[in-house]
A and B are shown apart, each in its own frame.
Chain A
Amino acid sequence: AQRVTQPEKLLSVFKGAPVELKCNYSYSGSPELFWYVQYSRQRLQLLLRHISRESIKGFTADLNKGETSFHLKKPFAQEEDSAMYYCALSLDNYGQNFVFGPGTRLSVLP
């Protein structure tokens, strides 16, 4: 079955420190991975997707098919990065097209 895991419920780092939010998936097909972010009192929104290979707000994520991972990284965390982050898997056939992980709450301390 398709599944997305995010092992950390809460991750606290100091401002300026590197941050890595972990995401692992299980899927036998060709995955398309996303990171969604939900800032306080705002709607869930797309942060980045692996196929575009872009950096958004300093965040990057590389799809590692061997390790079935899609970790989100930023070299220097900012206080405004504090939010809930969800890793999501989009399937390539008719099914549950978006599978979300349980989410990781990132708290960047001053």
Chain B
Amino acid sequence: EAGVTQSPTHLIKTRGQQATLRCSPISGHTSVYWYQQALGLGLQFLLWYDEGEERNRGNFPPRFSGRQFPNYSSELNVNALELEDSALYLCASSTVWGRRNTEAFFGQGTRLTVV
């Protein structure tokens, strides 16, 4: 079974540009999470999508946005890129049983570099 896949693996953008990161969850998983892993800062929660809706977002500015498609894949968009947006962006997926999520499976991440 394929795991969570993210594309591209690496992305280099110029300050002020927009970046689009993509994530395909494990088949059958309806929840997708996005995390930012900046150097030395650990995992910071960005966004959570489930069944096509944004369920929650972390403490990030509105220029971080995304969406989830009917096939449960997801996009993360970062507008007006700043140098400090350089980080590894991780996507994770899980199923939702009732109101509690189960184990999250992570992708390999997209390394975004803003120059």
Contact = CB atoms under 8 A, between A and B. Distances in A.
Given A32-B100, A90-B101, A92-B99, A98 B33 contact: yes
Given A44-B106, A94-B56, A97-B33, A86 B43 contact: yes
A46 interface: yes
Contacts of B41: 102
B28 interface: no
Interface size class of B (residues with CB under 8 A): 20 to 34
B70 interface: no
Interface in B28-59: 31, 33, 35, 41-43, 45, 48, 55-56, 58
Nearest to B108: A43
A100 B103 CA distance: 13
A101 B37 CA distance: 12
A28 to B, nearest CB: 16
Interface residues of A, number: 23
A68 interface: no
A95 interface: yes
Given A86-B42, A96-B56, A44 B90 contact: yes
Interface of A: 32, 34, 36, 43-46, 49, 86, 90-103
22 contacts: A43-B109, A44-B43, A44-B92, A46-B103, A46-B104, A46-B105, A49-B103, A86-B42, A90-B101, A94-B55, A94-B56, A96-B48, A97-B33, A97-B55, A97-B56, A97-B101, A98-B45, A98-B101, A99-B45, A100-B35, A100-B43, A102-B41
